[in-house]
Amino acid sequence: MQGHDENPGRHLIAKLNAFMRTTAGSEDAINDLASRRITSLDRGQDIISEGEEPRTVNLLVSGWACRYKMMEDGRRQILAFFVPGDLADLHVYILKAIDHSISAITPIKFARLTPKEFEEISDAHPKLLRALWWESLVTDSIQREWLVSVGQRDAIESVAHLACELFVRLKTVGLADGNQCDFPLTQIDIADALGMTQPHVSRTITKLNKTGFVSLKRGKLEVKDLAKLQKLAVFNPNYLHQLYDE
Amino acid sequence: MQGHDENPGRHLIAKLNAFMRTTAGSEDAINDLASRRITSLDRGQDIISEGEEPRTVNLLVSGWACRYKMMEDGRRQILAFFVPGDLADLHVYILKAIDHSISAITPIKFARLTPKEFEEISDAHPKLLRALWWESLVTDSIQREWLVSVGQRDAIESVAHLACELFVRLKTVGLADGNQCDFPLTQIDIADALGMTQPHVSRTITKLNKTGFVSLKRGKLEVKDLAKLQKLAVFNPNYLHQLYDE
DNA sequence: CGCGCCATTGACCTATTTCAACGAGGGTGG
DNA sequence: CCACCCTCGTTGAAATAGGTCAATGGCGCG
């Protein structure tokens, strides 16, 4: 078990394949990236905290995490979920202090790259660098789509949209098993991501499950009718900027 | 009048000064950037539209614009406001299709740079390139803070927060005159940015103006008690990542 | 066994939406 | 110069999505 992972970059590799289709030469480089300074954290611990000076680029190797901001009075907004293969803040070392925190939703492992390491590897693999930029632009695009959800979608649309997004993203990195995938979010996480309250998330999930398009519960998400779920969510996958061949 | 602008990059220069304090050598380069392929648009026209292949980096030279997304059923979410000195999508040419549109809120002028021009200039001025990255990261940070507004702040907090942000940003680019600045947004724009309805924006602005901290009306924003307004808005300027010496 | 965390559910409450009417101002064409 | 229209903002009344508060129950774990 305990033995070390032969292919820790496989989720990122799978994702970049949705962009460039030619990771071939870069696969070793990515696995190399994904092996540096591996750190493990338990659920609830922060990878980085607001106000720190950013020093590393973080690649999530296993587990889920979230980016969030706390308001002074304790309100929390989750800004993004990270799943394996996701990179946090490629260029953030330019800033003096980060304006948000990232914490583990499940036990996680992540690789911490110094800007220098990162530059070396990307200098040696210009195509990879371009792909990583793409990755970063997709992350921005997801951020924008979340604003659409919170600003325009009602409760059931929002929850359905989140389910669609995470399912597609997990599928892309090879972590969906047929029509189902892990789903470790609590209702509080969902509430803080979508700007709702936890009881209302509960009621909304109940209602959503009753449609039969999906079975969403803590731990496991099962998509039973993706087309209908997407329609309900007003989900348009363009914002994920993938190549569409499946 | 009609004569051409001697210093079209001054707003961007002022903004970058809040980051690097040494635009000296780069000022000419920025003014050069801001003179390329100047385009004028009337209110309501799109700079770029969803689905297009992005080809240029756009620098807003005068007027206001907004980035927005339309849902299939016509709901609109405004994702960002652009004021003079703002750059749209530094690296977006990596993507095959943009996932949002940008349109003019007032008559605008903007410069369109090809990726090539942009690279030439930034190769010649590495410090400038770094500053432009900073600019782009601040834009991302603003995007995140908007999600906090829409997800967590109630109506009066949201509107107050938007007023704070735009006032600070305009001040940074030299477009605030003492405690007041232009404010061309309609209540519909505000509503679509904050995920509210226009009538409720109207009621909320009335209530906000009654606090006496601010006078907000179409055309002009006047800040009467910035500290109290910021407190009401739960506004923490850190997310704008400026140097704080004033 | 008991504690803590998480989800469910009910009853009530309220911020915001919805629908609709009205009014002010600015521009245009007759 | 007036009439008209169109956009934008204001306001009221009624409706509702979602919030609040609180009790209950399941379940995993020390």
Q: Could you report the per-residue pLDDT of A122-135, keeping only the tens digit for each? A: 899 999 999 999 99
CB-based contact (8 Å) between A227 and chain B? no
Q: Is residue B5 part of a domain?
A: no
Asked whether residue A210 is domain-assigned, the answer is yes
Q: Determine how many CB atoms are found less than 10 A away from the CB of residue B4.
A: 7
Lowest mean pLDDT segment, chosen from A51-55, B11-15, B138-142: A51-55
Q: Which residue in B87, B96, B147, B231 has the most chain A C-beta atoms within 10 A of its own C-beta, making it the best mutation to test that interface?
A: B147
Percentage, residues of chain A above pLDDT 90: 83
Do residues B137 and B40 share a domain?
A: yes
Distances (CA, A) of A108 to A37, A58, A84: 13, 12, 9
Is the CB of residue A143 less than 8 Å away from at least one CB of chain B?
A: yes
| Among candidate residues B81, B112, B144, the one where a domain is terminated | B144
| Domain presence at residue A50 | yes
Q: Which of B124, B144, B164 is the last residue of a domain?
A: B144
Structural domain includes residue A188:
yes
Q: Is B92 on the interface with A (CB under 8 A)?
A: yes
Q: Which residues touch strand C (CB under 7 A)?
A: A 186-188, 198-199, 202-203, 205-206, 217-218; B 154-156, 195-197, 199-200, 203-204
CA A51, CA A99: separation in Å to the nearest integer?
6
> ∠A149-B66-B131 over CA atoms, to 5°?
100
| Mean pLDDT, chain B, whole residue set | 94
- Whether the per-residue pLDDT at A244 is higher than 70: the answer is no
Q: Does residue B93 belong to the interface with chain A, where contact is any CB pair within 8 Å?
A: no
Residues B95 and B57 in one domain: yes
pLDDT at B2 over 90: no
pLDDT higher than 50, residue A1 = no
Residue B107 inside a domain? The answer is: yes
Assess contact for B165 and B139: CB atoms under 8 A. Answer: no
**A99 contacts: CB under 8 Å, gap ≥ 6:** A50, A69, B141, B144, B145, B238, B239, B241
- The DSSP letter of residue B125 is -
Residue B244 has pLDDT above 70, yes or no: no
The total of structural domains in chain A comes to: 2
Domain co-membership, B118 together with B173:
no
d(CA B150, CA A210): 28
- pLDDT tens track for A117-165: 988 988 999 999 999 999 999 999 999 999 999 999 999 999 999 999 9
Identify whether residues B79 and B192 lie together within a single domain. Answer: no
Same domain, A121 and A176: no
Same domain for B215 and B175? yes
CATH of the domain at A53: 2.60.120.10
Residue B172 lies in a domain: yes
* Of residues A76, A91, A151, nearest to B133 (C-beta): A91
Shortest alpha-carbon distance between residue B179 and chain A (Å): 26
- Using CB atoms, pick whichever of A72, A95, A239 lies closest to residue B241: A95
Asked if residue A3 belongs to a domain, the reply is no
Say if residue A128 is in the same domain as residue A195.
no
Question: Which residue is nearest to the C1' sugar atom of D19, using CA?
Answer: A197
Other Cβ atoms within 10 Å of B74 Cβ, number: 6
Same domain, B109 and B229: no
- Nearest nt by C1' to A204 Cα: D18
Side chain identity at B181, as an amino acid letter? Answer: C
Which residues are CB-neighbours of B118 under 8 A, at least 6 positions away? B33, B57, B90
Of the candidates B144, B164, B193, which is a domain's last residue?
B144
Binary contact (A91, B238; C-beta < 8 A): no
Strand partners, B58: B88, B112
Say if residue A115 is in the same domain as residue A167.
no
- Burial bucket for residue B113 (CB in 10 Å: 0-12, 13-18, 19+): buried
**Chain A residues with CB-CB distance to B137 below 8 A:** 91-92, 94-95
Question: What does the block give as tokens for A138?
Answer: 């997709």
Statement to judge: residues A17 and A131 lie in one domain: yes
Domain range for residue A192?
153-240
Question: Do both A170 and A71 map to the same domain?
Answer: no
pLDDT in tens, B80-95: 999 999 999 888 889 9
Contact criterion met (CB < 8 Å) for A77 and B238: no
In DSSP terms, B82 is beta-bridged to B65
Strand residue runs (E) in chain A: 38-41, 46-48, 57-62, 65-70, 76-82, 87-88, 101-104, 108-113, 176-177, 180-183, 214-217, 219-223
Q: Is A93 on the interface with B (CB under 8 A)?
A: no
**A188 interfacial to chain B (CB closer than 8 Å):** no
Selected for mutation to probe chain B from A79, A147, A242 (highest B CB count within 10 Å) is A147
B39 or A1, which is more confident? B39
